[in-house]
Structures are given as C-alpha cells and as structure tokens.
A and B are shown apart, each in its own frame.
Chain A
C-alpha cells in the first residue's frame, strides 16, 4: 500500500502545534481531553490511565520498565506523543534525571469524567419543538450526498449538478495542493489529489477541516476555538436537534460551512433554528487509524482489462475516469476498460501504477475480494509494465573524467570507482570514465593523490 503522504501532518499534529497556553486552555473542557485521549496510540492511552491517580512525577527510567525490550520503540513513540500534546509534562529533578507527570488540568478533568461522568456540550431540543426530524437513514444519505457533492466540486468535475454552499474562494483554498494549475490548461488532479480521493472519508474530512482551519486563521479566527468546537460537535448525538442560539458567534459562522460539508443539517422551525449533527460529525473524534468507516468495495476487474464498478456515485465514476476509459454508465453500473492510453493519462498526472493497483485492490467488490489476488495478476503486471515503459531513461547526476596522463592512472581510477560503487561507464580506448555525482568528491581526492 502506498504511503499516504498527504496526511503525514494529521489533525492531532495540528493540536500539538498549538502554543502551550492555548493547549492548556483546550484541556479545560473534559470533552476535548476525551477526544485527545482517544486519538493517542494504544500504549499512550494506557499510560494516561495508569498515571491518572498518581500525583507525583514518575521517573522516565521507571516508565521504561513498564514495557518489555521489544516494545521500547513503541514506548518512545507513546511518550513523545504525550509530551508533544502536553499531556505529560517533563520535570527534571536535582539529579538531572527527567520524570513525567500528567498535565494537572488534563488529569483533573479526566478524573472528574471517570468518577462523575461527562457533561454534554448542550442539551438536545425537546421533540415537541422540532417536529419532523429526518430519520437516521435519511440523515446518512444526506451527509453522504453533501460530501460527494463537495468532493465533485473540489475536483472540478463537469458532473456537478448543484454547488454546495461553499464560497468559491474557499474551494480554491482547498484545491491548492490537490489540483495543479498550469497556465492555459484546465486544472488537473495531482498526485496528492489522487491520494486524497483514495483516502477514507474521515481522513479526507480532516484534511479539509485542517485546510479550513488554517485558512480561517488568516481571517482572524482563533484556531483553538474552531478545533474545540469541532471536537465538541463530535460528542453530540447524531440525529438530535440542537438549538442554534446555544452557539457562539464564531461557531455560528462556522456551522454553515460545516453544513456545506455535510457535517450538520440545518433546519428552520417557526421560531428557532437548529442544527442536526450527522454521522460525519460524530465520527470526527475517532482517530484516523480507525478503519470502521471503510466502505464496501464495488470494483470488479476482469483478466481482459475490463472493469465493472457497481456504484451509483458520480464521484466513483470520476475517480475511475482518471485511469480508465469509461465506456458506458448504467443506473447502478459503470463499465470501463483499462487501456494503455488511459493509463498514460494517469501517469502523466503523476499518479503511480502502484496507487492505481492499490485503489483497485482496496475497493474490490466483496465477490472478488474473497479471491487472491483480487485484481487479476496479468492486469496488475501490465499496469506496472506500462508504467516502466515511460521510465526507460534513468537520469543519474554524474561526472565525466578524461584526459588521463597514463593508462595506469586511468585503470587505477577505474578500480577505485568500482570499489566505491560509483563507476557507471568506462571507455578504455578513449580513456574516459563516468562516475556518479555523489562520488565526485572522493574521486577527485583520489586523483589528486595520484599526481
């Protein structure tokens, strides 16, 4: 599976990047403590529980003894993460040995949570005020539709029927990094953009939210406030109505954007307005590694390079169009073929063959997913072959040496080059050789010594 570089900086890194003051302020809310705790690696979660009722700092050396030797790397990751998020505070004692203790605010809040229970950010509205709330299924459908609509708009497809309520300039911000904008050319999906489309919904959502937060930071909105609001939102019950009057101004302006993403559904009553969180919102505080939101696959690839996608989604069609020739679309089926031309198109956009193969494998229809390999071998091999076709020439930065005073010096130089593994080519007749660029310094030193 290709490494998804685009989420290398994920949401919790963003929280960690907040200044210490803001971070401590975030931890004032027990809900946020909960969300942050849930995002930690399993070992770190356990450490927090273990330290919860310990008021004195525990020395780093003692902590190292909590794990077996095999786990020391995981231990280090966990501790680093905890320090980064200021959940653990480092205390250096007189003997200059470091020890850790829990952030007192965080500790206090979690203790309260465990013993007395958490408080909801706001109470749902009584059902006699909010008549005719959508059912959970309707709400899910609404959220998915809204999200797909947003994605389609994002990748600039011609298939968009209606626009989401998003400000076009905002969409431009999101497209930065996902689409390439070469002059005089319609914007095309970049490698990152394709990776983005391959991610699961939750990860995509956080990517967008991250961009959203950093762009509103430019408009003078405190990122800490937005983050805490979003995390709060994830603790609301999906399908329940919450009064808009309970929101602060910043939150009010954010909520319409969130509605455009499908995180909440806005409804108007006779007197009050309210918002209904969807599943997308309540899944926000799940850590990115949770694959529970993974959808069922839909693609069948046959050995004759034909591709059948059982999907009604226009987005899926757009994704397939990136690397396959879509031949016809039936109400619930997209039929296409993987051809050399369609793949070359994809390669030109910076999408790698491995990414395409990974996409086909991850989204394999349950019927073919049972088989191994889920995508026929001849197809995957051919995709790889066509990709290497384009890379017949390999560029290596190198240096050419000639004008050797004697055969002996030339041969010595050749031997030395071979020894250091930098020799690429030699011609004994003309007495010249080519050495990798990175070996140039060593080669030069060697030749100087020969003189």
Chain B
C-alpha cells in the first residue's frame, strides 16, 4: 500500500472538482421566511440555475477526460452525493449525466423534505447545511488522495444562494481550516442577494475565488470564465479579486455575528455576553475575579485590624 502511494501520478492539469449545490427549497421557492412575505429571494429560478450548472459540469469533464466532478447537494437538514463522474455506472456522456443527476436530485430533495417534516418545524432555519456539505467534500477528497493511481488537483466550488446559518459557524470554520491544511481551495459563487461572510472567509483562507455575479442570467459565462480554469492556469490568469472580506465571527452562545465580544482565555470560544463558565471547555471565569476580591477583602480586613 505504501509503495502505491509513492508512485502516484501527479499531473498539473487534472482536476477533481467538488461542486456544492444549494438546493434549499426556502431559498429557491422564493419565500423569505424572515419577513414572511412572498418576496422572491432568488433572481433565478432553480431550473434556470441547473441549466447553467449542468453545462458547466459537463464542460469540465469535456476539457480533460481525466477530470472528475462530484456534485454534493446541500439541503436544509441533510446533504448527499448527487453525481460522481468517476462512479463509472453513470458514464460521462452528457445525456447520462443529466438523467442520473436529475433523478438523484429529486430523490434527495424528497428525502430532505421528509427529514424536515419529521423534525421539529423550525421555520427559523432557512439556511442550507454548508458545513455538512463541506465536510462531505473534504472527506471525498481525502478518499481520492488515498486510493487510485491518479492524484488530481482538488478544489471545491460552493454555489450558494441561501443566507449563512450562524449556528453552523464553528463547523464551517473547522471545515475551512481542514481544507486549508490539505491545500484544497474553496471557490465560492454566491447566487443569493446578500454576500456570504462564511464563503468570503472560506475563499480568503484557502486561496480560492469568491464571486457574486452581477447578472445571474449569464451564470454559465461567469462559471466558465472564473471557475473552469485548473489551479495551474490560475497562476497566470486575471481573475476577480475579492473586494473585502467580512471577518466577523459568530458568538457561540446565540450564533449571531458580532463585532465585539468576549473570548475564553483557555479555548478561545467567543461569546457576546459575559458568562460565569465557558460553555465549551468548562473553565470557570468567576473564580479568578472572586479570588482576587476575597484576597483584597482579607487585606482590607487585616488593614482594619491593624
């Protein structure tokens, strides 16, 4: 086994692209749950979106027969593999891709809906499971690294529309750092209305590209211009630079993005309010101040006594 790893074939222009597809019905159906009105959240219908993404996936497979594309759908409660060009059973021809892709996507959405119904009706969560899909992608990449003879250049492309889920903050950051560690750039293309602070940070930290297309009708063009190039070619291409990154962290107690907060001196957990005890590592914050107070108290007492 050890020898097979060392004799892997490293090639610059073979890519493994993991596409994370946001299939959040709350977003695509255009119901803005926060305001409760029927204001469309997506400027692009889901079918149009797919009609841009599918040719993009097939164009990556087209330009190099050794390229591999994996599509992971991120729903509200679950995420799952939708398509794998290296799977063999589906074949790589475009018509096969389309048929298999849509069938699995439908199955996935149905399953996800079932899960939503089974669980408590949490209307507040309209975000997709970004952290879960990132973890799936990273696991998949690790598996490819450890098996097979090819060593493709991996990258992750997040196509996200729904707003960030602050409750996933810790999990997403952990995924980002592990991507950084295994040198997997996370590209992100935001098709929603608002910028995504999570993805801005993800792309910034891992050296990927963050893009929020202005005209969603031309999504394929954006995808093919910015995200189709392999990592080797990127070093001499003029690519969009990030305008700025929202570095705000989310507090661990209420999962809200905050500008200023309190940090546990032991485990660096972030809180928006003072606590007696760190909820992550259990360190007692009160103790130190109480100790000092009791000491000064006793001092005062001794002073009074003398």
Contact call A45/B63, Cβ cutoff below 8 A:
yes
Alpha-carbon gap, A113 to B59, bound state (A): 9
Alpha-carbon gap, A290 to B150, bound state (A): 11
Assuming the A-B contacts A49-B228, A71-B236, A74-B236, are A292 and B62 also in contact, with contact meaning beta carbons closer than 8 angstroms in the complex? no
Contact call A42/B238, Cβ cutoff below 8 A:
no
Q: Give the contacting residue for A116; candidates B95, B237, B238; CB below 8 A.
A: B95
Contact call B233/A292, Cβ cutoff below 8 A:
no
Which B residues from 281 to 299 make CB contacts under 8 A with A?
none
B-contacting 9-mer, from A62-70, A244-252, A392-400 = A62-70
> Does B36 make an interface contact (CB < 8 A)?
no
B221 to chain A: which residues have CB within 8 Å? Answer: 50, 53
Assuming the A-B contacts A65-B238, A291-B11, are A366 and B93 also in contact, with contact meaning beta carbons closer than 8 angstroms in the complex? no
A291 to chain B: which residues have CB within 8 Å? Answer: 9, 11
Among B66, B221, B224, chain A packs the most CB atoms within 10 A around the CB of B224
Q: Give the contacting residue for A52; candidates B7, B224, B229, B236; CB below 8 A.
A: B224
A285 to chain B: which residues have CB within 8 Å? Answer: 65
A110 to chain B: which residues have CB within 8 Å? Answer: 62
Alpha-carbon gap, A42 to B236, bound state (A): 12
> Distance (Å) between the CB of B170 and the closest chain A CB?
37
Contact residue range for chain A?
Answer: 35 or more
Contact call B236/A120, Cβ cutoff below 8 A:
no
**Chain B positions 73 through 115: 1 when the CB is less than 8 Å from some CB of chain A, otherwise 0:** 0000000000000000000011111100000000000000000
Contact residue range for chain B?
Answer: 20 to 34
**Chain B positions 206 through 231: 1 when the CB is less than 8 Å from some CB of chain A, otherwise 0:** 00000000000000110011001110
B237 to chain A: which residues have CB within 8 Å? Answer: 43, 46, 66-68, 71
Alpha-carbon gap, A154 to B77, bound state (A): 64
Which B residues from 1 to 53 make CB contacts under 8 A with A?
3, 6-7, 9, 11, 13
Contact call A114/B232, Cβ cutoff below 8 A:
no
> Does A38 make an interface contact (CB < 8 A)?
yes
Which A residues from 10 to 62 make CB contacts under 8 A with B?
34, 37-38, 42-43, 45-46, 49-50, 52-53
> Does A445 make an interface contact (CB < 8 A)?
no
Alpha-carbon gap, A37 to B94, bound state (A): 16
Alpha-carbon gap, A285 to B97, bound state (A): 21
> Distance (Å) between the CB of A66 and the closest chain B CB?
6
Q: Give the contacting residue for B150; candidates A50, A118, A286, A292; CB below 8 A.
A: A292
> Distance (Å) between the CB of A370 and the closest chain B CB?
6
The residue in chain B whose Cβ has the minimal distance to the Cβ of A111 is: B55
Alpha-carbon gap, A286 to B11, bound state (A): 14
The residue in chain A whose Cβ has the minimal distance to the Cβ of B221 is: A53
Contact call A38/B65, Cβ cutoff below 8 A:
yes
- Which residues of A line the B interface, CB within 8 A? 34, 37-38, 42-43, 45-46, 49-50, 52-53, 65-68, 70-71, 74-75, 110, 113-118, 120, 285-286, 290-292, 294, 296, 366-367, 369-370
Known contacts A46-B63, A46-B224, A292-B11; 7 further A-B pairs (Cβ under 8 A): A34-B62, A46-B237, A50-B221, A66-B237, A70-B236, A290-B11, A290-B66
